[in-house]
Amino acid sequence: MTFTHRFNPTILREYDIRGIVGDTLNAEDAYAIGRVFGTIIARAKGKTVAVGYDGRESSPDLVKALVKGITESGTSVKTIGLGPTPMLYYAVHELKADGGIMVTGSHNPPNYNGFKMMLGKRPFYGEMIKGLGRMAADGEVDDGKGSVESHDIFKRYIARLLRDYDGTALNVAWDPGNGAAGDAVTELVRHLPGRHIVINGEIDGSFPNHHPDPTVEENLEQLKAVVREEGMDFGLAFDGDGDRIGAVDSQGRIIWGDQILLILARHLLKELPDSTIIADVKASQVLFEGVEKAGGKPVMWRTGHSLIKEKMAETEAPLAGEMSGHIFFKHRFYGHDDALYAGLRFMQAIGDAGGSLDAIYDALPHYVNTPELRFSCSNDRKWKVIEEVRDRLAEQGADVVAVDGVRVNTADGWWLLRASNTQDVLVARAESMCEEGLTRLKASLKTELEKSSVTPPDDL
C-alpha cells in the first residue's frame, strides 16, 4: 500500500508535535506519526516503542491510530496506559524500549493534543521532527506487522519515585490540576510521612478547576488558599502532563522555577561539591550566583527541555532546570524532567534544611524583575530582530551572553530578548537589584525593539 501524508506545518514544533484536535491535528496525523516513527526505530535497529497518554478526551483515539501506525511499520508497541509524561519516560528505561511516544497536550487548553517522543533514551526534537515530516510527505516508510503488549507499570513507577525519599514528615498540599499526574500524586502521598492533601486529583481533560500551568500565578490561587486554611508547610503544583512543577510556601508566596532549582542545587552540592548545574537563559542571576556560592559550576543554556537534556548529557551535569518548572535529575535518576520526583527531592531538601520553606525563601536574595513578556512577531521576522539587536549591541561593546537570543548584562542587572522556538513570538525579561535599575533596563530593551521597528508590549 502506498503511503504519503502531509502534516499541517504548524504542528511540527521544536520539541514536540502539537495542534488543535479536529483542526490542525487528527487521527490521520497520529497514524502517520506512528508509521514514520516506527520506521525510524526499525532502521536504528530497534524493535519496540513504549506508548502512553494523558487524560484529554481526544487521547484514546489518537493512541489507537498511533499504535496502528507503529505496528504497520513492523515495530512493536508496549502500551502503558494513562499517566503523566514522566511515567512514559520511566517506561522506556524500565521496559528496555527502543523509543517512546507520549500522547499529551501538556498544559495547553483542552482542545489541544500532541506527541512527545524519545529515540532510545534521548529526546526526539528539532531537525528530527522536521525529518519525520519529510519522511511522511515522501512516503518513506517500512511495511510490517508489529505486536502490541500491555504493561501495567504504575506501581513500579510509584515505587521508583519513593526509592530516593527518606525525609522527615512534612505537611504538604498537592495540586495536579486535574492533569495526567492526578492518580500518581494520589497514590504517592499515601506512602509519605506527614500530612498530605490532594486537590484536583481526579484526571479530567476539561480542566474544570483551573488551567494546569503552575507558572501562571492565578492557577495557584486555589493551592495557596488550601495551604493557608489547612496550615500546611507548603504546596506543590503540577502542569497537565506532570513534567513541570510549581510551589508556594505557607504564606502563599510563589517559589518560582529558578528558586526551586537553587534550593535543590544547594542540597545536592553538599553531597556532590563542584558539580555542574545547568539553568536556562531566563533564570535569575540569583540562581547562577547562588550555585557558585554553594560550590557548584553554574552553566547558562538555551531554553527548551530537549536542549537542556542534551546539554546535561554533554556536561554530565547531575541537575538542571528551567524557569518554566522543568527540573531534570541525573543524580540517582534518569536525567529527564519528572515533576513528581523533583517534588520529592524538594521535600527532602527542605526537610534536611530544618523543614521551613518560609525561612529558606526569606534568606534568598530578592531582586525585582519583570514576568516573562511574550509578544507577537512573525516567524521570519523574529530571528532577524534578534540578529539586528545582537549586531547593534556588539558595535556598542555591550556585555552580552548570546547562547539563546541576547542576555545583556549592565551595572543595573540584565535584560533578555529571545525568539520562541515554538511560537511566533519574541520573549523578553529584565531583572535588577532595585526598581530604578529595572526601569532603566526596560527602557534599554524598549529602545532596541523600537530600533528594529517592533512595537514593545504594553507592560514593558
Tell me whether residue 150 is one of the annotated catalytic residues: no
Q: Which of 255, 331, 315, 319 is nearest to 291 (CA)?
A: 319
CA distance 18 to 93: 24
Q: Taking the CA of residue 72 as centre, how many other CA atoms within 13 Å lie in the half-sphere pointing to its CB?
A: 17
C-alpha cell at 286: 540569583
Q: How far apart are CA 258 and CA 401, in angstroms?
A: 18
Which is it for strands 196-198 and 112-119: parallel, antiparallel or unpaired? unpaired
**What is 377-422 written as a DSSP string?**
--HHHHHHHHHHHHHHHHHHT-EEE-SSSEEEEETTEEEEEEE-SS
What is the rounded distance in angstroms from the CA atom of residue 310 to the CA atom of residue 316? 10
Here the cell at position 141 is 516508510
- In angstroms, rounded to a whole number, what is the distance separating the alpha carbons of residues 247 and 167? 18
CA 449 centroid distance within chain: 28
Which residue of the set 106, 275, 284, 324 is catalytic?
106
Q: DSSP for 284-297? A: -HHHHHHHHHTT-E
Greatest alpha-carbon pair distance for the chain in Å reads 67
Catalytic residues: 106
